């Protein structure tokens, strides 16, 4: 979906991907981050958020909590991160990153609550009273006050499969009053996901979840006397969406794919953010009209409807940019040992570099994540190669880059 956009708006990333793979500087089965583009995108997002009066919790899961990404976001002024699950929170804490938001989308397990409380997240989302009690006990043990967000739901809200859950909007004030009697926690706001979406029929649009947040916040103020300081409104966030979210009542946003220029909106329009990520692998076998590409990172985010996946293929950058080959990534039900290339649609040989442009969720894969800098100056240099836990496996450390 993003292959043409990368080739048109950031061909140097493709050239670098092929050159670095052919030289052995990066391995196959590797997401490659363009640090120059990433840093520029981070500055755009932060500036737009500042103009709209929004606070930003960057989401790092799409790039597998890569230390180079964490460093780029923090340097742009976004130093408190959202963690999709407790494992991500622990991995970011190991990098000494500050935690902004934990517990949403995945609730904190009971046995890890004290660990998370000791890390001092700015806000902690709970879906029910039992989870609020666990957060209270953990905060009490840590000797600190923990601010809570309540996940709220209302009939007609929009959710991805298995992403629903939370307090009923009609009951949120009563729940907040009960939580307010617990030690060491205080309710400060509400959250939901997604509050903003893009599709080809409706374009960019707020979901009913945003209205649910506004109604819940009003109930908290009016019926429970809560000083609501956070309406946390993630979903399809990039520089161009900030003012819309602020006008709808949001106070905090959580961009992820905006940093790499890969939200669904980016797939259809040239937005300010440049594409900053691709996936690189290698042809290992040819059998008749089919070529086999080493896999491991072939998870394509299903938020975008199915489409014909294609790849740039070659042993030199310009050759690859001119050679676009149809690909088959196989069934999501299987293990992605290989992708297949249709040799009837382009030239493919063993040892060729293969560059894909699909929307990444690197944290659910077994791929590597490499970062390259200097593309803007025509002097690409690998800043490091990492696993999906953010551990450096090759190259300079994040603190040196």
**pLDDT per residue as tens digits for the range 164-209:** 999 999 999 999 999 999 999 999 999 999 999 999 999 999 999 9
User: What's the pTM?
Assistant: 0.95
pLDDT at 304: 77
To 10 degrees, what angle do helices 208-224 and 172-180 make? 50
Residue 397 pLDDT exceeds 60: no
Tokens 């900053």 — which residue? 276
Q: Which of 103, 12, 82, 35 is nearest to 386 (CA)?
A: 35
DSSP-assigned beta bridge partners for residue 196: 206
82/105 Cα distance (integer angstroms): 10
243/250 Cα distance (integer angstroms): 9
Helix (H, G, I), strand (E, B) or coil at 384: strand
Q: What is the mean pLDDT of the chain?
A: 96
Q: How far is CA 144 from CA 151, 184, 324, in A?
A: 22, 6, 56
Alpha helices by DSSP H, 248-312 = 257-260
pLDDT at 31: 98
**pLDDT per residue as tens digits for the range 277-322:** 999 999 999 999 999 999 999 998 877 778 899 999 999 999 999 9
Tokens 């899961």 — which residue? 61
Mean pLDDT of 198-222: 97
- Cα R_g (the chain), whole angstroms: 22
Residue 398 pLDDT exceeds 60: no
**Which domains does the chain carry?**
3-33+271-388 (2.40.37.30), 37-259 (3.20.20.10)
Alpha helices by DSSP H, 53-166 = 67-75, 86-94, 113-119, 129-142
Kindly indicate the confidence band of residue 395, based on its pLDDT and cuts at 50, 70 and 90. Answer: low
For residues 234-262, b (16+ Cβ closer than 10 Å) or e, as one string?
A: bbbbbbbbbeebbebbbbbbbbbbbbbbb
Kindly indicate the confidence band of residue 1, based on its pLDDT and cuts at 50, 70 and 90. Answer: confident
pLDDT at 46: 98
Number of other residues whose CB lies within 10 A of the CB of residue 136:
22
Distance from the Cα of residue 160 to its chain's centroid: 15
Mean pLDDT of 148-177: 97
Residues 158 and 195: beta-carbon distance below 8 Å: no
């Amino acid at each position: 979906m993003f292959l043409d956009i990368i080739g048109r708006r950031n061909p140097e990333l493709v050239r670098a991907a092929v050159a670095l793979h052919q030289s052995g500087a990066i391995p196959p089965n590797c997401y490659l981050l363009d640090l120059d583009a990433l840093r520029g995108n981070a500055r755009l997002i932060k500036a737009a958020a500042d103009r709209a009066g929004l606070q930003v919790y960057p989401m790092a899961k799409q790039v597998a909590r890569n230390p180079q990404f964490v460093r780029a976001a923090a340097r742009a002024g976004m130093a408190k991160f959202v963690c999709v699950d407790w494992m991500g929170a622990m991995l970011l804490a190991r990098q000494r990153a500050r935690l902004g938001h934990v517990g949403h989308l995945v609730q904190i397990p009971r046995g890890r609550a004290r660990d998370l409380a000791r890390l001092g997240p700015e806000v902690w989302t709970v879906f029910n009273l039992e989870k609020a009690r666990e957060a209270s006990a953990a905060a009490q043990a840590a000797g600190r006050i923990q601010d809570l967000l309540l996940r709220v739901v209302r009939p007609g809200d929009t959710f991805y499969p298995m992403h629903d859950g939370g307090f009923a909007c009609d009951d949120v004030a009563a729940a907040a009053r009960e939580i307010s009697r617990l030690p060491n926690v205080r309710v400060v706001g509400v959250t939901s996901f997604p509050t903003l979406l893009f599709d080809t029929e409706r374009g960019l649009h707020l979901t009913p979840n945003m209205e649910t947040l506004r109604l819940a916040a009003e109930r908290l103020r009016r019926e429970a006397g809560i000083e609501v300081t956070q309406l946390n409104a993630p979903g399809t966030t990039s520089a161009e969406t900030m003012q819309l979210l602020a006008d709808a009542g949001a106070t905090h946003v959580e961009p992820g794919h905006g940093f790499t220029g890969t939200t669904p909106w980016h797939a259809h329009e040239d937005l300010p953010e440049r594409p900053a990520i691709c996936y690189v692998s290698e042809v290992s076998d040819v059998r008749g009209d089919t070529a086999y590409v080493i896999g491991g990172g072939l998870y394509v985010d299903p938020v975008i409807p199915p489409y014909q996946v294609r790849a740039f293929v070659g042993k030199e950058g310009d050759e690859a940019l001119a050679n676009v080959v149809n690909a088959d990534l196989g069934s999501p039900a299987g293990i992605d040992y290989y992708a297949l290339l249709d040799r009837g649609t382009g030239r493919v040989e063993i040892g060729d570099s293969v560059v894909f442009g699909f929307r990444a969720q690197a944290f659910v894969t077994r791929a590597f994540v490499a970062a390259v800098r200097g593309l803007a100056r025509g002097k690409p240099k690998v800043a490091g190669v990492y696993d999906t836990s953010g551990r450096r496996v090759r190259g300079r450390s994040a603190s040196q880059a």
